[in-house]
Amino acid sequence: MTFDNGRVSGVVANGQHIRARCVISNGNLKSTILDLLDKDDIPEQYRKKAEAVRINNSSCQVYIGIKKNEKIDDIGDLLFTSTADKLDTDLMLAKNVTSRTFSVYYPRSRPGHDRYAIVASTNARYEDWENLTDQQYAADKEHLANTTLDALEKYVPGVRDKVDHIEVATPRTFKRYTLHEGGSSFGTKFEGLKISRGICDAAPGLFHTGSVAIIMSGWLGAANYGVIVANDADRYLATLEETTRAGKGSVATSRE
Ligand SMILES: Cc1cc2nc3c(=O)[nH]c(=O)nc-3n(C[C@H](O)[C@H](O)[C@H](O)COP(=O)(O)OP(=O)(O)OC[C@H]3O[C@@H](n4cnc5c(N)ncnc54)[C@H](O)[C@@H]3O)c2cc1C
């Protein structure tokens, strides 16, 4: 991020400076503030508050493709399953999986396709996958694929013989592709919203959008929040233009 007179003046991407009077970051809130900005770009107190924001957990997904011409009985679209004897967050996040959600995709859910697919989702901790050697990582993924098929046998008898392709994504996968700290599936916890809303006060001209625990923190919340922030940015630019035309010095931020 570059600044001119305390105001955002663009970004440097792949070594190239792209000038902009306003920048919207859709990256993770914490990496936007703590990695993309220099320490001196923002007030220390704001930076400390950003450091304290908690991120949400990650997950593992096991993608199971079913062979052509194989069929699966209708067992419902979403199956929430658990073998735990109590409701316990640690158990839900544990690598020794007890809770799984199976999403079943039938040809009827994807008109034009005659294939079936199943995705098994489990909550997971990034720390449990972070520092494994390549060999251990591959072994743990294989273990998860096998135990998932074991669990699925109960609902789809003989499923092993029907499987065409199976692939495992872990918190490391999500970190790699989304760059969210800890491979977080749903961005930050609720305190992230206030920090996200305040970014333009801390760094005028910079806005943040994405999953920050706004109502329904998944894609719907992120999309809705994107519209809100786009409006903030638009207002900022309009005020900036007006102020420049009038030769005034101060520009409203997102809150004004
Ligand atoms: C496995 C999984 C399952 C999910 N299931 C559901 C679900 O069923 N329903 C639901 O509502 N939500 C679900 N979610 C959550 C949903 O995907 C997110 O809430 C939503 O995608 C958040 O949008 P976002 O824009 O905040 O972040 P993202 O969609 O992660 O987009 C951020 C983008 O910014 C890019 N980026 C980050 N930093 C940089 C950088 N420095 N430079 C360049 N690019 C950068 C990333 O590569 C990424 O493309 C799921 C998430 C995961 C991981």
Query: Could you list the pLDDT tens digit for every one of the 256 residues in the chain?
Result: 999 999 999 999 999 999 999 999 999 999 999 999 999 999 999 999 999 999 999 999 999 999 999 999 999 999 999 999 999 999 999 999 999 999 999 999 888 889 999 999 999 999 999 999 999 999 999 999 999 999 999 999 999 999 999 999 999 999 999 999 999 999 999 999 999 999 999 999 999 999 997 776 788 989 999 999 999 999 999 999 998 888 765 555 544 4
- The boundaries of the domain holding residue 168 are 58-178
User: For ligand 1, is residue 2 a contact (CB within 6 Å)?
Assistant: no
Structural domain contains residue 47: yes
Q: Say yes or no: 65 and 113 in one domain.
A: yes
Q: Say yes or no: 170 and 109 in one domain.
A: yes
Residue where the block lists tokens 């098929």: 149
Q: Say yes or no: 44 and 136 in one domain.
A: no
Q: What is the 255 CA–ligand 1 centroid distance (Å)?
A: 26
Q: Say yes or no: 46 and 76 in one domain.
A: no
Structural domain contains residue 148: yes
Q: End of a domain among 156, 178, 200?
A: 178
User: For ligand 1, is residue 238 a contact (CB within 6 Å)?
Assistant: no
Q: What is the 58 CA–ligand 1 centroid distance (Å)?
A: 11
Q: Tell me, what amino acid is at 26?
A: N
Reported as type and span, the H/E element at residue 233 is helix 219-246
Single pTM value for the model:
0.89
Structural domain contains residue 2: no
Q: What is the 227 CA–ligand 1 centroid distance (Å)?
A: 16
Q: End of a domain among 155, 178, 201?
A: 178
pLDDT the model gives residue 256: 42
Q: What is the 72 CA–ligand 1 centroid distance (Å)?
A: 31
Between strands 23-25 and 206-208, the pairing is parallel
Q: Please enumerate in sequence order all residues whose Cβ is within 8 A of that of 39, keeping only pairs 6 or more positions apart, or say none.
A: 47
Q: End of a domain among 178, 208, 230?
A: 178
Among the atoms of ligand 1, which is closest to the Cα of residue 183? 53
For 110, phi then psi, to 5°, come to: -135, 75
Among the atoms of ligand 1, which is closest to the Cα of residue 36? 41
Structural domain contains residue 89: yes
Q: How far apart are CA 33 and CA 46, in angstroms?
A: 9
pLDDT the model gives residue 112: 87
Q: Say yes or no: 51 and 62 in one domain.
A: no
pLDDT the model gives residue 247: 77
Q: Say yes or no: 196 and 164 in one domain.
A: no
Q: What is the 1 CA–ligand 1 centroid distance (Å)?
A: 22
Q: Say yes or no: 140 and 46 in one domain.
A: no
Q: Say yes or no: 45 and 63 in one domain.
A: no
Name the domain count of the chain. 2
Q: Say yes or no: 66 and 170 in one domain.
A: yes
Q: Say yes or no: 148 and 198 in one domain.
A: no
- Look up the CATH number of the domain holding residue 62: 3.30.519
CA 209 vs CA 29, 171, 217, 232: distances in Å: 8, 22, 12, 11
Structural domain contains residue 254: no
Structural domain contains residue 12: no
Structural domain contains residue 72: yes
